[in-house]
Amino acid sequence: MPILGCVIYLITQVYNKRDVNKIQEELTTIINPTKKVRDLERILEFSETFQNRINLADAYLGIKDYNNAIKHYEEAIAKDFHNDKHALFQLIECYYHIEDYDKVVFYAETIKSETDFKGSQAQFFYGMSLAKLGQIDLAETHLRAIDQRYSNYEERLILAQFLLDQNKTSEAKELLDEIYTESQNMTPPNKRKYRSTIRQVEQLLSTT
């Protein structure tokens, strides 16, 4: 009986409290997104470690403050952690969003041989940056890596538009048809999430 009582207490009190705390943290982040940043700034001031700086940079990226995120990622990798993949992947995203495509290419080319680079968001940003810099053929090679069935709908839509811009109409239409067909089997949450993307796919199909 004492053991059973402990188990019941853990289930009803400890785990539930953890869930409640997690939900409260998520709600606080939504309502006041800068609170997490301020909390992490204080933590970094108290203990200036690599991971604490990365956590702060991630928080800045989370609120789309790309310049401050870049500052902390680059400071984090300036010494002994210059090959940290997480920081490099995040830097690629940040530099893409501030339209510094040369920096995207610079960082991407340091890690493009890594297995987890293949088909990643980082590779997509790399491909888009190459396109912006006029390296169209190389850009297409990397953008096509994101074309994975039942995923990456927004990126695949961008790839389809890229192919249309290169007058590769039949390939673009085939990709759009695939996305549309997959959308018919989406779960209700995904249908809501990708509603705008699917609408754009339908519009492109109607004019292609």
Summarize pLDDT for 85-118 with one digit per residue, the tens.
Answer: 999 999 999 999 999 999 999 999 999 999 999 9
pTM of the entire structure? 0.82
Q: Is the pLDDT of residue 17 over 60?
A: no
Are 119 and 86 part of one and the same domain? yes
Q: Which residue, 93, 124, 146, sits at the end of a domain?
A: 146
| CA 105 to centroid of chain Cα atoms | 17
User: Which structural domain range is residue 112 located in?
Assistant: 65-146
The domain total for the chain is: 2
Burial of 30 (0-12, 13-18, 19+ CB in 10 A): exposed
Are 190 and 203 part of one and the same domain? yes
Domain membership flag for residue 78: yes
Question: CA quadruple 65, 67, 72, 73: dihedral positive or negative?
Answer: positive
Are 70 and 122 part of one and the same domain? yes
| Orientation of helix 85-97 relative to helix 50-62, angle to 10° | 30
Q: Is the pLDDT of residue 9 over 80?
A: no
Q: What is the DSSP string of 80-137?
A: TTTT-HHHHHHHHHHHHHTT-HHHHHHHHHHHTTSGGGTTSHHHHHHHHHHHHTT-HH
Are 139 and 154 part of one and the same domain? no
- How confident is the model at residue 29, as a pLDDT? 54
Q: Which residue, 127, 146, 165, sits at the end of a domain?
A: 146
Q: Which residue, 99, 116, 146, sits at the end of a domain?
A: 146
Are 167 and 120 part of one and the same domain? no
Domain membership flag for residue 178: yes
Are 170 and 208 part of one and the same domain? yes
